[in-house]
């Protein structure tokens, strides 16, 4: 019988698609019956999506850096 703690223990394998078919079926059956685990899995997925996006798109893009440079230039008086 798949329990909530089993979902927590297997969440990494589930996200990485590394679970064997039996475990995967049990986990999906449990999340189908358990709204809390469904919410947990969805939150976890979203968190990974967000961090994945952040990794691909660093905060300081060339455009932002360029704007910063222009902004700094306008602030700094010529020597
Ligand atoms: Zn559960």
Between 22 and 52, whose confidence is greater?
22
Measured distance CA(37)–CA(22) in Å, rounded: 18
Q: Which of 10-19, 50-59, 62-71 has the lowest mean pLDDT?
A: 50-59
Q: How many Å lie between the centroid of ligand 1 and the Cα of residue 59?
A: 36
**Per-residue pLDDT for 5 more than 90?**
yes
pLDDT tens per residue, range 12-45:
888 878 899 999 999 999 999 999 999 999 988 8
pLDDT of residue 38: 95
End-to-end CA distance of the chain: 75
Q: How many Å lie between the centroid of ligand 1 and the Cα of residue 37?
A: 4
Q: How many Å lie between the centroid of ligand 1 and the Cα of residue 63?
A: 45
The band of 57, judged by pLDDT with boundaries at 50, 70 and 90, is low
The model's pTM: 0.61
Q: How many Å lie between the centroid of ligand 1 and the Cα of residue 50?
A: 24
Residue 16 is classified by DSSP as T
Q: How many Å lie between the centroid of ligand 1 and the Cα of residue 49?
A: 22
């Amino acid at each position: 019988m798949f329990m909530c703690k089993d979902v927590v223990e297997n969440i990494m394998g589930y996200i990485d698609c590394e679970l064997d078919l039996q475990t995967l079926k049990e986990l999906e059956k449990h999340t189908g019956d358990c709204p809390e685990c469904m919410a947990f899995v969805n939150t976890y997925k979203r968190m990974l999506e967000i961090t994945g996006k952040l990794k691909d798109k660093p905060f300081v893009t060339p455009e932002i850096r360029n704007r910063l440079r222009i902004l700094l230039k306008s602030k700094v008086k010529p020597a």
